[in-house]
Amino acid sequence: MASDVQQSPPVSDLEASPYGDLSVDLPALTALLDGRYAEIRGTVREGLVQYASVLDDADTMTRDEFRERVKEVVVELAATGQTGMGFPEEYGGGGDIGASVAAFETLGFGDLSVLVKVGVQFGLFGGAILQLGTKRHHDAYLAGLVKGEIMGCFAMTETGHGSNVQALGTTATYDPDTQEFVIQTETPSATKDYIGNAAKHAQLAAVFAQLIVGGEGHGVHALVVPIRDGGTVLPGVTITDDGPKMGLNGVDNGRIRFDGVRVPREALLDQFAQVTEDGRYVSEIDNANRRFFTMLGTLVQGRVCVGAAGLSAAKVALTIAVEYGLRRRQFEATEEDAEQLLLDYGMHQRRLLPLLARTYALHFGQQVLSSRLHDVFSGITTDEVSRRQLESRAAGTKALATWHATRTIQECREACGGAGYLSENRFAALKADTDVFTTFEGDNHVLLQLVAKGLLTDYASDFSDLDQFGMVRFVANLAVETVLERSRAHKLLEQLRDAFGGDKWDQDAGLLDPNYHRAMFEFREEHMIGGVARRLKRGIDAGMNPGEVFSRVQDHVVAAARAHVERLVLDAFLDAVAEQPDGDLKTVLNLVCDLHALSSIEADRAWFMEHGRLTTQRSKTISREVNDLCRRVRPVAGELVRAFGVPREMLRSEALLAWGEE
């Protein structure tokens, strides 16, 4: 991409680099990042280029015009098969869930209104039909929705309840005389809200409501409810537009109210529960909580995809900012007659290159997650613990990836100065359109509490039965040592002492030793999990209300979950590096992994110092090492971002990334 851009002179201290002379085989690195679905990713990239004009349309069209344009693109993409790869082949899909995630992730390089409308139509609405419905629902809807002929929406969130789905206020009451369900918005707070596709285009809605049969409530279930006939809203349905948003204005978010809307008994998506003609509720899962969590667990693909899309947006931002840093000159710093390239400044490297390294780490973490999603939902992995671990990992990875996207896009915008503030350079759209990703598919802090619940209960058989207060009681009734024994790293300190020769393992290990990196992340995770368990037990033993106990330790709960996911991400990166044959590619990845690990330890050095795992002197040494690693990454930074494979047309930024020297 930038082979004709003048590079900076070699930095003298690179001559002594333990990584040797760095060389990047760009096609090989791109192939590694693309993984098993490289061909599918290539097809999606070609489609992005074909519809590149939609990026300009977002700036020039009115909101209504742009909504129609986005719908047009989504329907045309559906006709190519790119959006239906996760659906069964007999309904026109590709029969490959892993492929569908890879396609969606790659689509994240382009306009994000298109991406989100694809996610609503095929991931949320289509996923609800596929995973919660049975053959009659599949036969009725899947072929049409895969082609984009049937447009639908996912009506879960309400004005009064978002994350707490179990408390939704919409009701679906069974009338045995007519064998129909009556859908009712009981209060204004039960209005379905922020629903993508609802304001203009959806004909059907997957409505989540409290199921009432024979006067008895059975918890939240999903039903297929028609809301439009063509462009006409059906009787009993009231739809209003959510109006302008911070971003994603090509997606028609709306509010839906139901007033006595009747649907046939067969409208219930009955994979996990049925209502018989005579009005009996039947389910193979007796426990209502477990049934609810089982139902929601089938929709985990949405979280996997949102995290992947956030990561793609971060890759776009980094590609623009790094390429700009390889072109833009400022100040005569090292030569009297030539200004210096931005990326040759140490601070500029510090701002961008650790974020680049973290993006690589999250990429490999996302690959592991996507692979496990594919295995669980394709029936390759069938045990219940693996499914619950998947749900937990999806929740945690989504949180880290979307927070990372928000931070990275902002830093990259600033690193491009005033040019980054111009809409033509994509940062305006990237910032506005990804901001909601941190609350899409679950608020990130709530998701990390889900992760912590799994850690503290070890994904026990009664994991799904426990709300947060039940989790407090569960943990408090165990000996704390039992919680620690269940943790992955309960023998960590002994292993570290053996590996590094004593209690000073954290001082004696080499800074570039991957075992040291892994040990530091594992120590933090284990210590935090144990700390949460002790705090919960101490509060209960003191006679405190479980809700108050949980509230008081909530920050520790979230921190422990975050430490756990950080360790999973590092493990994924370390494993990916270890799997590579010796050679230049492995050397470069090892360098990037070292930068990620040490910059992460540096970012949390206060915690490590508070807990005796980092001396003041070693902390200072790590900061110097991070600076050095940034200088070593600098000569290959361009290749590292080009390996993401973001099509040139998706970067826009013509003036900002002008070819060659000015």
User: What does the alpha-carbon distance between residue 127 and residue 301 come to, in Å, rounded to a whole number?
Assistant: 8
Separation CA 155–CA 263 (nearest Å): 15
DSSP 3-state of 334: strand
Work out the mean pLDDT of the chain and round it to a whole number. Answer: 89
Q: Which residues of 8-17 are buried (b: 16+ CB within 10 A; e: fewer)?
A: eeeeeebeeb
> What percent of the chain has pLDDT above 90?
69
Q: Which of 308, 318, 408 is nearest to 367 (CA)?
A: 308
pLDDT of residue 481: 55
* Residue type for position 45: R
pLDDT at 60 over 80: yes
- Provide the β-strand partners of residue 173: 182, 212
Q: Long-range CB contacts (< 8 A, 24+ apart) of 286-290?
A: 287/464, 287/465, 288/218, 288/219, 289/464, 289/465, 289/466, 289/467, 290/464, 290/465
**Using one digit for the tens of pLDDT, what is the confidence trace for 414-427?**
999 988 898 889 99
Looking from the CA of 38 toward its CB, the CA atoms found within 13 Å total: 13
Question: Between these two residues, 164 and 371, which has the higher pLDDT value?
Answer: 371
At residue 292, what are phi and psi to the nearest 5 degrees?
-65, -50
pLDDT value at position 510? 84
Domains identified in the chain and CATH numbers? 26-147 (1.10.540.10), 154-284 (2.40.110.10), 296-649 (1.20.140.10)
Reply yes or no on whether the pLDDT at 566 is more than 60. Answer: yes
Pseudo-torsion of CA 614, 616, 618, 619, nearest 10°? Answer: 80
Rounded to 10 deg, the angle between the 384-415 and 546-578 helix axes is 80
Looking at residue 485, its pLDDT comes to 53
Whether pTM exceeds 0.95: no
- Please state which of the ranges 72-76, 476-480, 534-538, 542-546 shows the lowest mean pLDDT: 476-480
Residues 6+ apart with CB under 8 A from 451: 392, 395, 396, 399, 561, 564, 565
Average pLDDT over residues 61-75: 97
Q: Which residue carries 């298109």 as its tokens?
A: 114
Sign, CA torsion 216/291/392/473: positive
Judged against a pLDDT cut of 80, whether residue 359 lies above it is answered with: yes
Q: What is the pLDDT of residues 284-339, one digit of tens each?
A: 888 787 788 778 777 789 899 999 999 999 999 999 999 999 987 777 666 667 77
Question: According to the model, what pLDDT value does residue 10 have?
Answer: 43
pLDDT tier, 27 (very low <50, low <70, confident <90, very high otherwise): very high
Q: Letter for the amino acid at 252?
A: D
Is the distance from CB of 546 to CB of 540 less than 8 angstroms? yes
- 482 band by pLDDT with thresholds 50, 70 and 90: low
**Is the per-residue pLDDT at 560 higher than 70?**
yes
Distance CA 466, CA 474 (A): 8
Query: Which residue, among 187, 182, 190, 193, has the nearest Cα to 239 in the 3D structure?
Result: 193
Residues 577, 582, 587, 588, Cα dihedral to 10°: -70
Report whether pLDDT(454) > 90: no
Q: What is the mean pLDDT of residues 90-97?
A: 95
Least confident of 79-83, 485-489, 511-515, 545-549: 485-489
- 151: three-class secondary structure by DSSP: coil
Distances (CA, A) of 651 to 313, 428, 495: 11, 12, 47
Whole-angstrom distance, CA of residue 558 vs CA of residue 565: 11
C-alpha distances in angstroms, 504 versus 52, 270, 527?
56, 58, 17
Using 50, 70 and 90 to split pLDDT, how confident is the model at 17? low
pLDDT the model gives residue 4: 41
Segment among 88-97, 306-315, 474-483 with least mean pLDDT:
474-483
Q: How far apart are the first and last CA of the chain?
A: 16
For residues 42-52, average pLDDT: 95
pLDDT at 652: 86
> Given pLDDT bands bounded at 50, 70 and 90, which one contains residue 340?
confident
Cα–Cα distance for residue pair 197/201, rounded to 1 Å: 5
Q: Which residue's entry shows tokens 């990390």?
A: 448
Asked whether the predicted pLDDT for residue 531 surpasses 50, the reply is yes
